[in-house]
Structure 1
Amino acid sequence: MKLAFLSDPNSENAHKAIKSILNEIITTDAENNGGTIKIGYIASQPDPTREYYQQTQLLYKRLGADLSVYLELESGFLQSSLMALLECDAIHLSGGDTFRFLAALKQKGLLPLLRQFVVNGGAVIGVSAGAMIMTPNISSAVLCGDSNHCDLTDLTALNLVDFLFAPHISAQLLQKGDFKQQVSSFSQQLCLCADNEALAVIDNRVLSYGQPHWAIA
């Protein structure tokens, strides 16, 4: 298993987490034979100018990987892009509206395909909303201000790990009484991650970059 959970993809610790995943791909992927790592991108919602995709392309280029497959889930969905995505070494799940992103993935029937991608040895790198979708469910999205505007009733997600993830949680927010009360209502282990913090999960090892806060149920 090769997973990265990022709050802000432009932070130093996010880059370290991504590098750990890319290094693991190079180490374990015999078919790569030292070639360029191929990354696919799933947009959380339409990005007509592909602004965020292009920013992410530059990020991976700086880290020595090639982001060249773009998949949109709503009006611009292409089956050919999905097939190309599943041939990549890693899939990048973008940030955005967590509820809308999960609803679109469910509507396209992509959760089982993404789980199988991981079983087959593929890596997944999630940013903010994308990171929360990698966990058992997205109930933690309310902690970083997301609202369920699409009235999604089933919050179950990819379930690739046994903990929940909440991005953009500052040290100041962790000290607030009402926030602590919100956190205490969760019955699962919860990782609260500031913008300059990240996690990587490689096989059964959880690697922390920075000092994310763990709330133990």
Structure 2
Amino acid sequence: MNPADAVQALPVHEITLFGLFWQAHFVVKVVMLGLLGASVWCWAIIVDKTLLFRRTRAEMDAFEESFWSGRSLEELYRSFNDKAPTGLGAVFVAAMREWKRSFEGSGRSIHSLGQRIDKVLDVTIQREVERLESRLLFLASIGSAGPYIGLFGTVWGIMTAFTSIAASKNTSLAVVAPGIAEALFATAIGLFAAIPAVLAYNKLQASVAKAQGRLEGFADEFSAILSRQIDERLALAA
């Protein structure tokens, strides 16, 4: 048989994205589907966190405006205590609850109240940061492992392609190219999942750090306000 006729007799591979996926080895298909699923989940996290941080910034701005408007701490506490506050509101309510608990009943445990309030503030800030950081680790994991998972699919696909080439004893470009293209498609999907995950993780982590800075700054200011009131009450008691 003429070699040209033999090449024409080989099955024709469909060089499209769907064709590359459909003709790939089973293991490579599993890798591709896993990476595509991870990419969809990454984008869901990115959208959810973007909206969350936008809402958190708006709530912080509104709380600071209300806090520094001259309203009494008791009035502000009543307005936020009935809700499930987050961000600065959660820090404020946690400190006020410890403050009010120390003066409830006949025994006044004002001794070391400042230290207890500082601990409550630290714990509340840590909880708020953990809430903001939730699921960001998945973005970091996909950003670091995605290319290697795709590379695994590529290596497996190339091994399969070369095995088929050896079996057919035909090294023409028409035989080699489709198998290599199918294998490299797995790496492309890995990069497609990893690159947005890395960029989003860095951006969102910076937003977490900025929110944490605002929480800690407010906690220091509020702790100083309560500390002055504690000193005044101790002076009156003396």
> Normalising to structure 2: TM-score of the pair?
0.19
Q: Which has the larger radius of gyration?
A: 2
TM-score, with structure 1 as normaliser: 0.20
Greater strand percent: which structure?
Answer: 1
Using CA pairs below 8 Å that are at least 6 residues apart, which structure has the higher relative contact order? Answer: 2
